[in-house]
A and B are shown apart, each in its own frame.
Chain A
Amino acid sequence: MKHAISVLVENQPGVLSRVVGLFSGRGFNIESLSVAPTLDPSKSKMVITTSGNKQVLEQIKKQLNKLISVIKVVDYSEKSHVEREMILVKVKAREESRAEVLRIADIFRARVVDVSPTSYTLALTGDTGKLQGFIEILYPIGILDFIRTGTIVMEREMHGRRKLVS
């Protein structure tokens, strides 16, 4: 199972290298990674998606916590959360397929961010599954260029509603 782990770190040079070095040195896997400063510019938040059995994940979390530059580690797979990635995809769009590409973009609520006589560049955000579906549909039409961000996550604020239900 894929786990999205957020790592709050001190925003200092070399910290990313400590985190990534920990994964490579101990044979853990990074599937995707995103890093940016938080509202407090002295801190950064990373989200790492990784996989492994229970013991490996426990080690990943503990080893991350052990790094001196790491302030907090949260495994979002244990929580109800919102998850987003973004892709930019440049799709072949000649006469016969121009309308089709726009229709697909519309269905997925993607936005056209660049256009040329032979292509559209589409931006789409969503969870991994939605993005995967979008790519599969576009693939036969012809993908000219493609780039994808790492996953970002945020915990859902459900506590109030839970109380109402129970």
Chain B
Amino acid sequence: MKKITGAHAFIEAIRCEGVKHVFGYPGGAVLDIFDAILDAPDLQFILSRHEQGAVHAADGYARASGNVGVCLVTSGPGATNTVTGIATAYMDSIPIVIFTGQVSTHLIGNDAFQEADIVGITRPCTKHNYLVKDVNDLGRVIKEAFYIARTGRCGPVLVDLPKDVMNSLVNFKYPESVSMESYCPTYRGHLGQIKRIVGMVLKSKRPVIYAGGGVIHSNASDELFALAEKIRVPVTTTLMGLGAFPSGHELSLGMLGMHGTYAANMAVTETDCLIAIGARFDDRVTGKIDEFAPKAKIVHIDIDPTSISKNVKVDLPVVGDCKLVLKGMLDQLEDMKQEISELRNNSESWLARTDEWKKEKPLRYTQGDTIKPQYVIERIDEIAPDDTIVSTEVGQNQMWTAQFYRFKQPRLFLSSGGLGTMGYGFPAAIGAQVAFPDRTVVDIAGDGSIQMNIQELATAVQYNLPVKVMILNNGYLGMVRQWQALFYRHRYSHTCLSTSPDFVKLAQAYGASGLRVENPKDVDDAIREALATKGPVFVDFVVESEEDVCPIVPAGAPINNMLLV
């Protein structure tokens, strides 16, 4: 067998994993790998303009496609710049593998130039990480890294590659299988528990399904839909679960939690059986934890045992993959026609009640002389194709998108839910566009958050990735301003962005297109024009400056305590 360098072995390994696209940024410690990349025309490398952008792009790629996103950066600052992106992926359970350069092994610990203990730094925000000290371990480590990232509860895995390991020679053979004594996720739910869950659900009078991102990760939307229809149970989703159940369906209650719908929050407060599927009872969902779903028996289906009874005491847990557990439930329900019809009879009045809540207090806003941000989102939803991928930044733009864009399929909504990372949306949209070059990809942004990774416009232009960035420009860090207005006596401390750049000129300076819209009647035309334009476009929507996201549940209050206007 011919010996090859660690760098060429690296290329061979990721090729064996089926990697087609790598996001990243070069530097001294990864020169060998970047040299080897030139010999691999089958790998498309996307040069970001900041390492954070590269990780978010790999993350957006993974969320949209379901495949592992890959990122390659240099040591020291290159590696530390990835930390926000890694923590974002960790909080939302996104499968990415981050390769970082490292100084040569004999220099590790010497405070060498561009040295950082990235394995130490990222230990708490990765699912697992590795430092490869011996080139003979390279194949096994990369195999394990991809396996860990995409199995069980997915997450980011970092592999640190010292320079001397990359230029030493190895007889390389990529392992065919993984053998890890200490890692064995549970996929099949316990059959007895599944039977008990079905029994509990069938006995309930006012059941509600609370579906989270886990349904999307395990591609269980069809099973969720089948279950909800079969037993006629209303469904609310978390932010991460948007698209897991079609928004606008008669059984859909919309999103729950801090900015959830009135119907969803009331239903969860009144339900006698809450069926949590791939969700983790986050504080933005539960509000005051002691008063969350106070009348309910709680069922919890999750692949991660640590999620169960972490925040809320669960009556019936089952650890397993959402798709397999839901299939198991559907199998059990096969020969229970009698019980199902009883449940459906019982729940008719419950469904009537949830419908009433929906009609009584729907999400609403009033369009006046200035453009309302919610209106822009509704119009994008109306005009853009059905398979449009929508990313968001974090803040008001994110919550309005969650409320007013009707996501009907999974993997169309990309947003930083757990960590709440401003600057996520634009690079994530770039990653999604790389995965799906022919689909429409829109980033719904604010004037604050778009500036956190605006340099990625150069990436979009370089690779002709026609991402459409819709900036809801209200001149404020809107969500924080809203909190200051509601809970800090309108004292706007450092939330006014009066000196934003001219986004149209800025887009043009990068070689992209820019549009500005100030009048509500021009919104539709601008969206159409942006979607019809070939390259990346910034559309600067000058919107109502002090519009609030409603409903809002004040921090620490129970979720049925909503400020509606």
A interface with B by C-beta (< 8 Å): 9-10, 13-14, 17-18, 21-22, 25, 55, 58-59, 62-63, 65-66, 68-71
Contacts and interface: CB of A to CB of B under 8 A. Distances in A.
7 contacts: A9-B182, A14-B123, A21-B124, A55-B313, A65-B305, A66-B306, A68-B128
Nearest to A22: B124
Contacts of B309: 55, 58
Interface in B179-233: 180-183
Contacts, number: 38
Interface in B105-144: 119-120, 123-124, 127-128, 131
Interface of B: 119-120, 123-124, 127-128, 131, 148, 180-183, 304-306, 308-310, 313
B123 A18 contact: yes
Given A14-B131, A25-B124, A71-B181, 19 more contacts: A9-B182, A10-B182, A14-B120, A14-B123, A17-B120, A22-B124, A55-B309, A58-B309, A59-B310, A62-B305, A65-B305, A66-B304, A68-B148, A68-B180, A68-B182, A68-B183, A69-B182, A70-B182, A71-B182
5 closest A-B pairs by CB: A68-B128, A62-B306, A71-B182, A62-B305, A25-B124
A25 B120 CA distance: 13
Nearest to B182: A71
A159 B230 CA distance: 50
A17 B305 contact: no
Given A10-B182, A63-B306, A68 B119 contact: no
Given A68-B128, A71-B181, A17 B306 contact: no
Contact of B123 (A17, A58, A66): A17
Contacts of A62: 305-306, 308
Contacts of B127: 68
A144 B433 CA distance: 70
A70 to B, nearest CB: 6
B182 A66 contact: no
A21 B123 contact: yes
A68 B182 CA distance: 6
B243 to A, nearest CB: 27
B165 to A, nearest CB: 15
A70 B183 CA distance: 8
A138 B552 CA distance: 63
A21 B181 CA distance: 22
A47 B13 CA distance: 38
A22 B313 CA distance: 22
Nearest to A13: B131
A9 B313 CA distance: 29
A9 B182 CA distance: 8
A151 B304 CA distance: 30
Contacts of B148: 68
Nearest to A60: B306
B124 A66 contact: no
A59 B123 contact: no
